[in-house]
Amino acid sequence: MLKKLLFLLLPIIGFSQNIILSDNAKVSILTCGTAPVSYAMYGHTGIRITDNVNQIDVVYNYGAFDFSTPNFMMKFVKGDLQYFVTSENYYDFEYNYKLDGRSIVAQELNLTTAQKQQLLNELNSSLTSEERFYTYKFIDKNCTTMVVDKINKILGEEILKQPKSEQSYREILYPYMSDFYMKLGIQIIFGTKVDQPATRLFLPLEFEKVLNTATQNGKKIAKPSEILNEQTVTTTLSYLNSIYSLLAAIVILILINKKGIQIIYFIFAGLLGLFFSLVGFYSLHEEILWNYNILLFNPLLLLFAYFYLKKNTPKTILFGQICMALTMVYLAYIVNKVQVFIVLPIIALHLFWLIKIVIKYKKIKLNSFS
């Protein structure tokens, strides 16, 4: 697959490698719209270079990867999967995004001819050198940050950067997640890094906003945005993929009131906590390290489920109280965070069942002494 891709790109690389751009050449930042699927949830950033004199119209993309990479999934989870830069004809690029129904917005940069030439030379050099490959980082090194860094280098200073604010990375990311259960899963797997104040410009649409206002020496960096392709992807409200279905499922579980279901739930929650514990030792993704969600989904729930199954009254009470305390600490910690409302139903189920079981076993214990 990768070899085939490289073969298709060679004509473009070879054609543009030694081209001297004319004064009519243009450099634009392309911002591609979002889509409900995971890989398109946050959009995409590309660099387009056009020169009618030299018949060039090429888009450079950071963020490509090869599914046929050995141990692909393990490398992805660990965080050492190699991403790379590619180039393609603009009309092929546009065609693919039209098929996906995603928008394309262009912002032409006000660069000198020398700066445009420098950028073209560096991009082509990246295609054929060790710079072509890089280790992807969700916040620090992705399709947007690579472009931001490249343009800042051409400008000679860090003009393009995240505006100063009190917003955390999590708060910036949160509105982009339209799929409820995907949003819930991402909020649970993210750790403390995404709660830090955002200092890195790392999302395509945020980059587009910055380009609209950024200036250097009193002159705007980019011309007004131009829509090259309208967004046609629409998201429809689905009650099955919303907090309402989660609430309904929790109510049904409570009404069924079966011990077996409770045990299965706590085993699942405990295994999830065990995963959070172990992945921190394996993964290089800083975004999932120091995951405080382990206070809610904690491995001690496995012991609680075991002793509850075995009807061990003292230890069921002990581990139930410990898990209740950890859940309360978790609630206090996230009460002012953006994700609190989507996690709240799970917290409520946790506490309801834990309190109910502990009270029941305390009564059993008390009756055994009477």
Residue 19 structure tokens: 């081209």
Measured between alpha carbons, how far is 173 from 156 in angstroms, rounded to an integer? 29
Q: What is the pLDDT of residue 80?
A: 78
Q: What is the pLDDT of residue 248?
A: 96
β-strand partners of 215 = 220
pLDDT of residue 240: 87
Neighbour count for residue 345 (Cβ, 10 Å): 16
Of the chain, the end-to-end C-alpha distance in Å amounts to 74
d(CA 101, CA 99) in angstroms, rounded, equals: 5
Per-domain residue ranges for the chain? 2-162+200-229, 239-369
Q: Which helix (H) or strand (E) holds 110?
A: none
* Longest CA–CA separation in the chain, Å: 97
| Reported confidence tier of residue 283, pLDDT bands at 50, 70, 90 | confident
- 93: exposed, middle or buried (C-beta count within 10 Å: 0-12, 13-18, 19+)? buried
For the chain, what percent of residues have pLDDT higher than 70?
92
What 3-state class would DSSP assign to 55?
coil
Q: How many residues does the chain have?
A: 370
Instruction: Please name which of 77, 292, 42, 45 lies closest in space to residue 179, comparing C-alpha atoms.
Output: 42
Looking at residue 370, what is its pLDDT? Answer: 57
Cα separation, 8 vs 111, in Å, equals: 30
